[in-house]
A and B are shown apart, each in its own frame.
Chain A
């Protein structure tokens, strides 16, 4: 047996990186199509009447949400897990054949699920529950994927050399446990074919909950899917990648622990803010509001910790596009965790609910925070896993500005659209008759929908720049030595 020095094994991390890029482009391309459809309904028929079933808004919308959330974001989370996990635990995947096998199985079963999801959603097979659209056979496969990841996660922790679990590991564990609990409870469903003794399609199911209970479970799930899919694992990333790339240890480790427990404690109670002025008990709505406002504290705890990590090192923000991506991400994190609580205040929610302001909020969070952080993480990982410098720094800078402009156009247009919409819906004359009909609002919103579509298209262009840069990094950039990979990532002109 040859005796090579032990190295980290990034095989599975690389696979997930690839999937992240591909599904990012697919998901956002669908998003851009949706955006143009809302501005110009003719786009619904872009492939002709015959294929309209597959190209209309209602068929594509769940494909967008699921492919960016469960495709792009999740595979990004796993790409970073299979990288960060080894490094902060100081143990290589190569040290355990079993863990390596689990990780590969995790990847391939996940790919199968992706194919099944895309296929069924395009065919219109869906439970009709937002973010829980998958029918029961896919749900079971999802549980298998999750269990495989969990076994790998705790297995790696079990053989670690570093005794203390770095703060990022806490966040990955919370992601695992949080989503496991949420997904299981919200997706409790009854396969109708088997329950009825053979009526209907074998894969069809109905939720075990109904009415107000269904709404409550759904938004407890929905909101916490944001918590444990868009916040917790992305915070895990920034706690590792920003200190590593900048060479500065996190400003206050104690604050990071504190913000962690604060977030865990508060987040789970905030979901009620999706159901304000609905038929759920009033005290739950109030609780949702109050906890949403309190949520600012632990969220800002992490974000400020990140900004303070850069104390005395702000020249790096100007010098490195990679640091720029991360600082902008944490700034957008602060921004959307302030915006969310404002929207959760009852009187504001009365105006904002069901309007485009909510869609604006979603996207300043996911485009500015989630996607920026995931791309920054991949940029940082690329030179280390491919042993080549990042192909082009100027391309990165271009991507940064194109996408930042895209995000700004997206959320500002949706703010204006949302508030206009909200005001028009509630406007009435002296006798209480509504002043506007629905179509009046649609006509007024047209320019803003167009601006949003332009912003989204810019963001997508940035995604292509990102993919090209990653591809070149993978295949043809200058090779680098281990010594160049300490902190700041090496980049070509």
Chain B
């Protein structure tokens, strides 16, 4: 096998791998939402409640946490 053929196989394999990763990610997103482990949709509110005085949707430090 010359280097060109090798590259082509590697390229194909890598693409297939990334496709699998992408689809697993989709599966993860929707199943996590369904099982209730993580609510992704609430992050949409980050754009709406964006005054500096608003509570963060998910705070970094405990002080800013929604009580």
Residues of A within 8 A of B (CB): 5-8, 86-88, 90-92, 160-164, 166-168, 239-240, 243-244, 247, 249-250, 252-254, 257-258, 261-262, 265, 283, 487
Contacts and interface: CB of A to CB of B under 8 A. Distances in A.
Interface size class of B (residues with CB under 8 A): 20 to 34
Contact of A161 (B25, B26, B43, B64): B64
Interface in B12-67: 18, 22, 25-26, 29-30, 33, 40-48, 50-54, 56-61, 64
Contacts, number: 81
Given A265-B22, A283-B8, A250 B58 contact: no
Given A161-B61, A163-B60, A88 B46 contact: yes
B14 to A, nearest CB: 11
Given A163-B59, A261-B25, A249 B33 contact: no
Contacts of A167: 43
CB-based closest 4 A-B pairs: A249-B44, A87-B50, A166-B46, A163-B58
A247 B48 contact: yes
B22 A262 contact: yes
A253 B43 contact: yes
A161 B45 contact: no
A477 B26 CA distance: 47
A2 to B, nearest CB: 18
B30 A88 contact: no
Contacts of A244: 47-48, 50
B40 A162 contact: no
A257 B27 CA distance: 12
Interface of B: 8, 18, 22, 25-26, 29-30, 33, 40-48, 50-54, 56-61, 64
B25 A164 contact: no
A155 to B, nearest CB: 15
Nearest to A240: B47
Given A7-B52, A254-B30, A162 B8 contact: no
Contacts of A164: 43, 46, 57-58
B40 A254 contact: yes
Nearest to A241: B47
A457 B44 CA distance: 39
Most buried by A among B8, B48, B58, B64: B48
Contacts of B61: 161
Given A254-B30, A258-B25, A283-B8, A265 B47 contact: no
A262 B21 CA distance: 11
Contacts of B46: 88, 162, 164, 166
A114 to B, nearest CB: 30
A239 B45 CA distance: 11
B52 A6 contact: yes
Contact of A162 (B29, B30, B44, B60): B60
B47 A239 contact: yes
22 contacts: A6-B52, A8-B52, A87-B52, A90-B54, A161-B60, A162-B60, A163-B56, A163-B59, A166-B43, A168-B47, A243-B47, A249-B44, A249-B47, A249-B48, A250-B47, A252-B41, A253-B43, A254-B40, A257-B40, A258-B29, A261-B25, A262-B22
B52 A253 contact: no
Nearest to B46: A166
Given A243-B47, A254-B41, 11 more contacts: A5-B53, A90-B50, A160-B60, A162-B57, A162-B60, A164-B57, A164-B58, A168-B47, A244-B47, A250-B44, A261-B25
